[in-house]
Structure 1
Amino acid sequence: REAKALLVAIQGVQSKLYLAMNSEGYLYTSEHFTPECKFKESVFENYYVTYSSMIYRQQQSGRGWYLGLNKEGEIMKGNHVKKNKPAAHFLPKPLKVAMYKEPSLHDLTEFSRSGSGTPTKSRSVSGVLNGGKSMSHNEST
């Protein structure tokens, strides 16, 4: 059973190229995002994920065209892949995401002036972004 679906684009981490499917069901890469780069990502209860073209499908039946790999790991034509077959099932790999605490206004340098004209708090923005630890000039550039 399908749990949820999203509109996604698939982009190479290093190449920055987008994966796309043409009107014949062949996959190719594109430097630019086009409608052929849009895929429907469907996540199923068994954690498998399928990707189908958002613009191409079988004309008579309306069946979607899916990304798929055969047993040898070769790319299959989208119009030859069925969503319930292992060729179309992918297991997502979680990406490492850097999580940062959003700095509050109290953490940023505060320049409320006293009568002498000197700042009352001297914590730098680069220090806040480094978890409050001070950084040398070379580390912050």
Structure 2
Amino acid sequence: MLMIPLLVLASLLDPVWPRARCSPSQGCDPRQRRDAGGRGGVYEHLGGAPRRRKLYCATKYHLQIHPNGRIDGSLEENNPFSIMEITAVDVGVVAIKGLFSGKYLAMNDKGRLYASEVFNKECEFVERIHELGYNTYASRQHFTEQPVPPGTKRRATVRRQWYISINGKGRPRRGFKTRSTDKASLFLPRVLGNKDHEMVRKLRDIQGAHHTHHQQGRRGERRRRRHRDREGYEKMSWI
């Protein structure tokens, strides 16, 4: 008789009590977390600081975003415009921003890549891991709906993704012409080297100096405004 109260007490004190798995009839979260290292896996990180990477295409070009909005590839190892900030905006969905250009990579409804000043729906890309560590980035907003041949036991249409792609000449390809298996659509996220980090530090120093100068200018303008107001008040008092 003493064992039953002891078992009940142990179950209340033990915080790590095994839980039964959800049955198909239960309302479990259908979005199960998967291993990001597997084939065709999806990055499950969400939020936090952006990852600074250089997207190295299998065609030997680094994706870069110019300040004037041009998108292309670069063969240079230490090109500042190829340094990207990759930020998760949803599970498996990222935004890609050029650190030095300050613009977001986006794809329009014509399948063309462009640089956007502000983040919008066309800046969202589905990030998937493939073999040998390469990733693909498919537009979340734009794709092609293709009909399925009659007689197949599948849905009426199938979605064909539009991918970020850089061809063998360093030029971006139209999204509807891409495949996930093309070399031009495979990107290796490279960590920054020492020279890249040095360029980032210089950029931060310039931005910090500019911010300080701007703040000092605003404080000076407020002092001048207060001085003008004080002079106006003194003149009014003599009338």
TM-score by length of 1: 0.64
Aligned counterpart in structure 1 of residue 103 of structure 2, from 12, 17, 24? 17
Superposition deviation, residue 45 in structure 1: 3.5
Q: SS at the partner of 1:25?
A: coil
Alignment of 1:49-60 (within 5 A): 49-60=135-146
Structure 1 Cα separation of the partners of residues 174 and 163 of structure 2 = 8
Q: Residue deviations 1:62-109, cap 9 Å, x none?
A: 11000001111110001101001101001101247x9xxxxxxxxxxx
Q: Which has the higher strand share?
A: 2
Asked if residue 4 in structure 1 is aligned to residue 4 in structure 2, the reply is no
Query: Larger relative CO (CA 8 A, sep 6+): 1 or 2?
Result: 2
Larger Rg: 2
Structure 1: gaps of 5 or more residues: 99-141
Aligned counterpart, 2:160 = 63
Q: Which has the higher helix share?
A: 2
Aligned counterpart, 1:41 = 127
Asked if residue 89 in structure 1 is aligned to residue 179 in structure 2, the reply is no
| Amino-acid identity (%) | 39
Contact residue 3 and residue 45 of structure 1 kept, 8 A = no
Structure 1 Cα separation of the partners of residues 124 and 42 of structure 2 = 17
Structure 2 Cα separation of the partners of residues 84 and 45 of structure 1 = 10
Q: How many residues align?
A: 97
Structure 2 Cα separation of the partners of residues 46 and 57 of structure 1 = 26
Structure 2: gaps of 5 or more residues: 1-38, 44-91, 147-157, 198-239
Moved beyond 3 Å, runs of 4+: none
Q: Residue deviations 1:23-64, cap 9 Å, x none?
A: 110010111000000000111241001000001111224110
Aligned counterpart in structure 1 of residue 112 of structure 2, from 11, 20, 26? 26
